[in-house]
Amino acid sequence: MTEATPPAQDLAGRSALVTGASRGIGLGVARHLLDRGASVTLTARKPGQLDEAVAELDEPDRVLAVAGNSGDAAARARAVDAAVERFGSLDVLVNNAATNPQYGPLMEADLGAVSKIFDVNVVAALGFVQEAHRAWMGEHGGAVVNMASVGGFRSSGVIGAYGASKAALIRLTEELAWELGPSIRVNAVAPALVKTRMAEALWSGQEDEIVARYPMRRLGTTGDVAALVGFLVSDAAAWITGETVRVDGGLLATGST
């Protein structure tokens, strides 16, 4: 299936920061924003993987990599400040970084793992918005997209803490949209299962069975998610804020999880 061609250079002159951007959805979003003319700062935990991502994007004048753990306040500030210093602004923030070290019944969950999930998936996202607001958006405006999940809408039975964290992120998106409007728009995207390395355990060896549950009869791609993010940060979405938009191949419409 071919992906839609993005509008030519409609994000030219804008600076974006994408967290968790060394691979998967984050890297796909970074590539899409670059294709539409934006300059992009990538941040993720592992410097080696970031270097590989920068080489793959092959746009040295418009790509900056800043290694750091999104759960670390100093690392968040460093990434935001570097983006503003290098590109002169920070117009777009995509909170994509996430973790999920808990799998199985919540009654057996390690609470340290649950705490880490909320710290990275929710608290760090708020921390990045605070830093972006301080450094640029509070005075100049901008657009934020938080990466939620269909798990934030319905129970899965196996990744409960992750789903609960994404539900919290959806609510956080609404609160921030109310607080930061009209100059800063805040929306969220809620993908279903996307074929990435992080999600591989959820589909590997059973893809045909899983795909049968989706009206679109396929799993998602990073391009599917990136195109929606690109729309939400663009001027075409100028009157959209506080929304969580599902990109799930119709999964939730079926009542399945």
Candidates 87, 128, 136, 162; catalytic one: 162
* Residues, the chain: 257
The CATH code belonging to domain 15-193+220-247 is 3.40.50.720
11-29 pLDDT per residue, tens: 999 999 999 999 999 999 9
User: In which residue are the tokens 């690109």 written?
Assistant: 230
**Are 213 and 192 within 8 A, CB to CB?**
no
pLDDT value at residue 1: 46
pLDDT (0 to 100) of residue 257: 56
The full set of domain ranges for the chain reads 15-193+220-247
Contact 72, 49 (CB under 8 A): no
Q: Active site includes 103?
A: no
> Could you report the per-residue pLDDT of 213-257, keeping only the tens digit for each?
888 888 999 999 999 999 999 999 999 999 999 999 988 998 865
CA 10 – CA 65 distance, rounded (Å): 23
Q: What is the pTM of this model?
A: 0.94
